[in-house]
Structure 1
Amino acid sequence: MSPYLAFHSTSELYGKMKELENLWEKFVLTNSPPEKLRYLIYESWKRCQEYEVDPKKKQSAISLNNDQLLEIMNHSRLFEAAVQIMDDLSKQIRGTGYLATLCDSEGRIIYLDGDQKVLKEAELMNFLIGADWSEKAIGTNAIGTSLATGHPVQIFSAEHYCQGCHPWICSSAPIKDPLTGRILGVVDLTGLSFEAQPHTLGIATMTANFIQKRYKEISYSTLQYLHHYFTQVVKRKNGEAIILFDLSFNIINGTEKALKLLNIQHWQQIGSIPGIKQLQNFLLNQVHICKESYLDQLKLHVHVEEINIQLERIGFLVYLQPQQSKDIVSSPGFCYDSSHQKWSEIIGQSEKFQSTIRKCQLVAPTSASVLITGESGTGKERIARTLHQTSLRHNSPFLAINCGSIPKELMASELFGYEPGTFTGGNSRGKRGKFEEANGGTLFLDEIGEMPLDLQVHLLRVLQEKEIVRLGSSHPIPVDVRIIAATHQNIPKLIQEGKFRTDLYYRLNVVELHIPPLRERDHDIILLTEHFLKRFSTKYNKTILSIDTDVISFFKTCQWPGNIRELENTIEHAVLFCLTNKITLSDLPRSLLEKERAPLLLQSSPNNEEKSMIIRYIEEANGNLSEVARRLNIARTTLYRKMDKYGISKH
């Protein structure tokens, strides 16, 4: 019998269950090697002991929240290749009492479908989307053991190390990258033990093979992307010792200088280098995006940068530099200004904000176009600058242009430049545009939603062709610029209204980073307040030690339509007018107090006071009723109703 199958015939089931239960109890109680147990199960049980997994454990842990799951479903290339095949499998097994499951390389469930009654039963052991089914999390099980061994495997009844899984049978097969052999994830079929069928392992294996075939195209495109990425880096960093590895430590490419440093003639010899295992362990165990190390045996300083596609790691770019000691060195090719430090300087600990920062850290080292969305004042340009500073382009220009502040007739010349004699009164020598000035670096297009429709066509062409044509010229000029765009507007809505091109939107929106408004970052308000208090106390040479708790409570109730910028201005005002060592409500801008308290005053004001307040706000807003409603924190329909009640005219 195959060592990967748990049994041959369904007639064996009940006798097999009893036998396995006895073997499991004996192992758990006496730790003695169980006879008649498959060797791969015994090896797995021993691993579980090393991991200190509790054999009485009833359920696994949930390791992915909804946001993380959504991110995987949107960006995982395994999920993209597998989802249609998994849907087909789910239809085929409908009514059989089985569940079809797809897990990633860490054993986390990212797809689950099947019989609803069985799904309900499986919930008792946390067999759910987002749950961790690695051996370290829940002991011997087909998903975790298949990942650990790299083989298809069927686990039946008490072969499961944890007691909570004993009523189940599961059959899993690994999905491997066709080019590198790296395990991408597993396909699993799970059902109750009394419904066990030996052929489910064959179905899981066949399904995994189908997914591998579909993934082959992705694998080839990944290889092409890695080669292209390496070529672009070498152009910018000519003369550096650079090696490109895939995720399995296979060398994709490398420079001549790297070969000389390692004292080898060709890359096939790298495995024979003393100390190369140290580099391999460093790469394959690294967690951070940008990391440095000193390899003692090779006397080399190593700087590693991840390469990602759609936020998914696909390879490593390794810079080598000879060095006799562990002291940090500086070189134009090395970015020792740690990206982690750059991102840690951005204030904010709320889960929504940190989720965005994690995305930023993944996308920063790539050349992917980014669209940053969020309300005015949330810090979109700060994020864009940090993306540039932590990218491979950090030594090249970062230029920002506000598409809403430049007159329409000047926008084209500002972006693309012009030749001599193009304009009356223009520079007689012509002018380079922002794309040329930012060549090799990053161009930040703020308020992209304000860009005129006719100019959007030209921008789209630049993104597609990687070249610009100056006004008054017919000669294209190649440009290598990463685009980061930002907007506070709803671009899909602008597309519906015919104000923004769909094709340009998809070109810009390779990765969308949404910055949540300040009102949704409760604890961050305190952190930012303390930061601004320290900054402005130093700036104006004042000793302000604290902020009254009433002020903090008030800040938490504020809507902050101007977000961080509004909070910053508020603290600066308070520091300027504070006459003691503590900021109180009386030190805050009057406009903020009135704006935020207006809804409460409306609720409690007698009719005459309410009427007077509405009239005053209409006068201050020059008849802009939307602004009046916003300042009063009421709906416009409510405002209209009150105006009608009091006979108030807009003018």
Structure 2
Amino acid sequence: MWKRFIFKNELSEELSPIVKESWIRSNKRKVDPFQPYGHIKKIEMKRYKSLIDWALPLMEGLYSIVKGSGFLVILCNEKGQLLKSIGDPDTLEKAAQIGFVEGADWSEQTMGTNAIGTSIVIDQPVQIVAEEHYSQICQSWTCSAAPIHDSKGCIIGVLNVSGPYEKVHPHTLGMVVSAVKAIEYQLKLNEKTEKNIMMQRFLEATTNNMKESILIIDTEGNIIKANDQLKKILCLDQSSLEEKNINEIFTNKSIVSNSPVYLQNKELHLKVKPSRNIHHVMVDKIPIYKDQQWIGSMIMLKEIEKVRQFVNHLSGNQAKITFDDIIGQHPYFIQKVKEAKLSAATDSNVLILGESGTGKDMFAQAIHNESKRKSRPFIAINCAGIPRDLLGSELFGYVDGAFTGAKKGGSAGKFELADGGTLFLDEIGEMSLEMQVLLLRVIQEKEVVRIGGHKVIPVNVRIIAATNKNLRDEVKKGSFREDLFFRLNVMPITLPPLRERKEDIPLLTHHFIEKLSKKLHKPFPEIMPDFLQVLTQYDWPGNIRELQNILERTLNRSTESSLTAKDLPEEVFQMFSGQKKEEILLHRDDIKKQSIIQALRLFNGNITKAAKHLGISRSTFYRQMKKFNIPYS
């Protein structure tokens, strides 16, 4: 049948379909049936190392069965190239004579019909005997081969057993198939193990790069695993941690119980004293189950200080003002800015004094942003804006159940939230004497105790206080504690009212109108001299805050491209002996004359500075002086 096909291209119906179809494919590919030996190609053996390692024990098992019978056990790659051969020495030598050695290409495309190459093409086990082989050099052999698949079903190799054709037996193919199934099973186990190892590495890398500390405990509280962050906090290595029970780390034993319990945002203290003095943490505990049975828990720790920083960032507890935002050129005001910058270089308490609206809160923020605490929280609290019975809980916090209506789980106070940063106590003069006693203790001891609690919490807070009262007078009256006054009055800064720095009014006016124009989506208007002259003569009892208010109201109402004195509200003209706005505007020359006289007085006769202050040129200033008969000083 082979001869008739090779020489006459006649196919016998007695051939098996697998062989018949393979002969046809081989013929179409013009495979030489009389080639004297196989083709040897170079193989990158490293690529197949794992396949060889897993297949070799089973190949050796197969060989132990056929040893001495003239059979070979052969492993090939997915292309049909020989990777490994095991057999009797004389059989290996006989195979070598036809090039059937490691590296030989025994694919169907190269050698025609054979068990190795044909099993790859049809992707199923096959036995090829004697003249069923397309190439004549293979016809003294019987070969039984089965493809090896990976977990995705792709062929990754072939296992083959070859021997003398007269010893053919169907059980041989059965042994090969069984061995292949065993190899595939081992490969799947290996792949699963590698995936588990890879997943473990991914999880370790993930947990070790998390900001939170994580540990796994069993049902008895024994530590099984911890991430790098926890090791850093506790200054312990993995082996030291695994020797510990969770109760050796936390002061509160309730974190471990004989039943699965969820915990969320539980405040606990560490027993192990770390080198960075981190001892106060927030804890979450999540039970772990296997087949609905509790086998342990995962515990996540967050340093309370970092939690507070995050909360402060979200809640806007950050200082936004710097000294660059503080506007003023008056010599006395500049001196106060210098004093504030000096105080920022220290860690001492600051007391800012001044009338309402002079910018005490701005100075407090600027001092914080200039200090070494600038990256930490800045928390402000208005002592006059909180009822006396609630001020204590706001400042010092409270524990669960401290009073009716207390938040479940308690709440941290402003001192705790400001830890490491600055606490700005505005309107400190309005604080009750009872609260002053508690505040003094916190400042002295640098620790707080929450209302209703007993635990002492260390705090590192810089105090900046502010008031519009004369605290020395309040001390004499007995409404402010002298010892607290001296604690706060380490770096005093007294801000001048706006009426004492009127030369800054044009500068402030331009600054505020520029900001307000953007805010109100209006073009920046031209500011006329009479507009500034009226503003300069007003005494501003509400100081900078009142100026800003007046300018915003004026800009909102204005429909012109310029701002003149007539655009200002009635109240700004109150200093003109009770005259109405309309009457005053009829006598603008009087306003101009008074403005020039006042500017000369402010700048001790310096024409250049006085003209600049009024927003006019020197030549115009001279003409106005001549017009109003104002003598040169």
The two structures share one fold, judged by TM-score above 0.5: no
Range into which the TM-score falls when normalised by the shorter chain:
0.3 to 0.5
Larger Rg: 2
TM-score for both structures, normalised by structure 2: 0.40
